[in-house]
Structure 1
């Protein structure tokens, strides 16, 4: 019987990174680290900030930031999670845009439960969590499919899972799909859910989220706002930070860019308006064009840029958003009385 002689396996060949690797590259640049530091000061047991608002321009990288927050929370709690498989320190959900005339709390609650225990069948019934096994059990009573039962199940699940915070991305859907007289009802629902479950709510969205919240003084007063700002062209530190991000993208595909990307830093800063998520999208498009054509050239970069119409529209939204949000970030501390005289002028914090 003849036996074929097997050749020894060939050593694995190094695979050059491709355009797709850029979209998976998540940079820990200064603005992200600043936001993570600010959030860590607010996200803690016993914090009075039950609802936090992260606002920033389109393309700044809010989804990347908020997913990083959740992943970091899991990493920091890994030892506890290893000891108790039922613990989930943080979860990420996207606020549903259901197409209904009002925000769908049922769908929102179902998404939270899905993050706590994997995919769930529709139609939903009420859920609880077994404190011993950490597994969700399903109540099949006559009222199990009611919205109230679903809400109770979410509260129970969050408590049993010991969820410290929930990130709600695209949170403007919660408010945009609501009549103005129901805005405070929606926030009351969130605040009540946070209080009953002991879970903080982090709402993330572009500037329209802040403008919608600001329609109500009650809403604005009861939320803590954090601004995820762009890198400005008129700030030297921001320019350096933007260039460091561009250099990181260049190093991710050295064979493609061949060291030619940095010379276009100023043009890219202007076109992307200092938003790193937009920069990543532009460079990913350029890399795909280059791979399709067999080589990179300045024309592949130019084809990937935002059009002037796109850029101008985004810039208009950014300027309006920055103007609207800046007063909520300004705090005044009056100086103490000196020798019984008039109070010194306040200074901006």
Structure 2
């Protein structure tokens, strides 16, 4: 019986490691990814508007995959220019390291950034002893020399790891300064912990853009349909002799992934490895259960996710802004409209008295009798 495989059939004859590697490298253009990718593309292609782009969402939603797709797109679009100028790098990516001792390490950041830009000075033995200021100056020069368009900082929530809350603004000010001086757009991608770095100043509000990469929510009918489609696509690309029926267990897939495609894929990769090492011809519910996050782990991840989502769901009363601007009074009435109405009423009142005598006492009989 012939099988209609969605993966290269020769994979079934290759070693287990190759079959696992195939699935790990497979990505799909699902709806939530496409929405976030379109917003990010527009922000990057728009000249001069936003120098900082905050890309945030739950852990495991697919932010790193999105950055890879954007990188591939930009490299492809600038391919000819890169052939003519070997020193031209249109886009670069680094992962912001978690600080070792609570305080963010700018020297480590500068060195990593210079390394990915292939700065020749990074090879000098004494380079690690150079001051932060000189490293920052070197990075500015490297960004200009490479004519970089976009610099993506993955795990950017680590920028918020500072000993004092007062230093948070310094963190974003430093990145904003780099962006302004070099005309490079910085994409800060991270979990909801990144939210604390947003809107720390009027300048930052004006020059930054927020992009929320959301998970699929089962209470939304369109999301549910899309998530089931994701599950079905993944099951067709799992390199087994017999295609597994993951749709039968879609609710369990959702329960342990919270609607995050990245979590689901990592989980399925682990289950795939477990099944292949067991010599199984397909993936079963038993393999799924043995590879899933524990209930305790799921609750921790989900609670952090909901906390971040709730921060974005909160919308302050717009009347506070209108009152501060003088557009409304504290009683909720529009100041300008009220004044205008009062003036209009007074005008109408004056007009209505034209031709009418004012009230006064008259003599009984109206004066002399008519004879």
Q: Specify if TM > 0.5.
A: yes
Structure 2 match to 1:204: 189
Distance in 2 (alpha carbons) for counterparts of 1:311 and 1:256: 31
- 2-structure distance, mates of 1:113, 1:313: 36
State the aligned residue count: 306
Asked if structure 1 preserves the Cα contact closer than 8 Å seen for 2:19 and 2:239, the reply is no
Shift, 1:226, TM fit: 0.9
Q: Distance in 2 between matches of 1:76 and 1:330?
A: 44
Q: Secondary structure at the match of 1:242?
A: helix
Q: Note the C-alpha offset of 1:326.
A: 3.0
Say which SS state the counterpart of residue 182 (structure 1) adopts: helix
After TM superposition, list the pairs within 5 Å mapping 1:158-177 onto structure 2.
Answer: 158-177=143-162
Q: Is the 8 A contact 1:187 1:219 kept in 2?
A: no
Distance 1:297 1:218, change over 3 A: same
Higher helix proportion, which one?
2
| Residue in 2 that maps onto 1:316 | 303
Per-residue deviation, 1:27: 1.4
Q: Is residue 169–residue 197 contact of structure 2 (8 Å, CA) maintained in 1?
A: no
Q: Displacement, 1:124?
A: 5.4
SS of equivalent to 2:135: helix
User: TM-score of the superposition, structure 2-length normalised?
Assistant: 0.75
Gaps (5+ residues) in structure 2?
Answer: 1-8, 13-17, 323-335, 339-371
Q: 1:286 to 1:100 in 2, by over 3 A?
A: same
Greater radius of gyration (CA)? 2
Are residues 1:304 and 2:291 paired? yes
**What's the TM-score, normalizing by structure 1?**
0.80
How far did residue 60 of structure 1 move? 0.6
What CA distance in whole angstroms lies between the structure 1 residues aligned with 2:99 and 2:83? 36
Q: What's the Cα RMSD here?
A: 2.8
| Alpha-carbon distance in 1 for matches of 2:11, 2:104 | 46
| Contact 2:160–2:168 (8 Å) recurs in 1 | yes
1:154 is paired with a residue whose SS is: helix
CA distance in 1, matches of 2:312, 2:269: 31
C-alpha distance 183-24 of structure 1, shift in aligned 2 (>3 A): same
Q: Is 2:253 aligned against 1:251?
A: no
Which residue matches 2:248? 263
> Which residue of 1 is the match for residue 77 of structure 2?
76
* 1:214 shift after superposition: 5.1
Tell me how far apart the structure 2 counterparts of residues 200 and 43 of structure 1 sit (CA, whole Å).
7
The equivalent position to 1:325 in structure 2, one of 308, 312, 318, is 312
The worse-fitting range, judged by mean Cα deviation, of 253-262 and 101-110 is 253-262
Q: Distance in 1 between matches of 2:198 and 2:239?
A: 46
Q: Is the Cα–Cα contact under 8 Å of residues 125 and 146 in structure 1 kept in the other structure?
A: no
From 197, 201, 220, the counterpart of 1:213: 197
- Matched residues in 2 for 1:280 and 1:124: separation? 43
Q: SS of the residue aligned with 2:97?
A: coil
Cα distance, 1:73–1:178 mapped onto 2, change above 3 Å: farther
State the alpha-carbon separation in 2 of the partners of residues 83 and 328 from structure 1. Answer: 50
Aligned to 2:167: 182
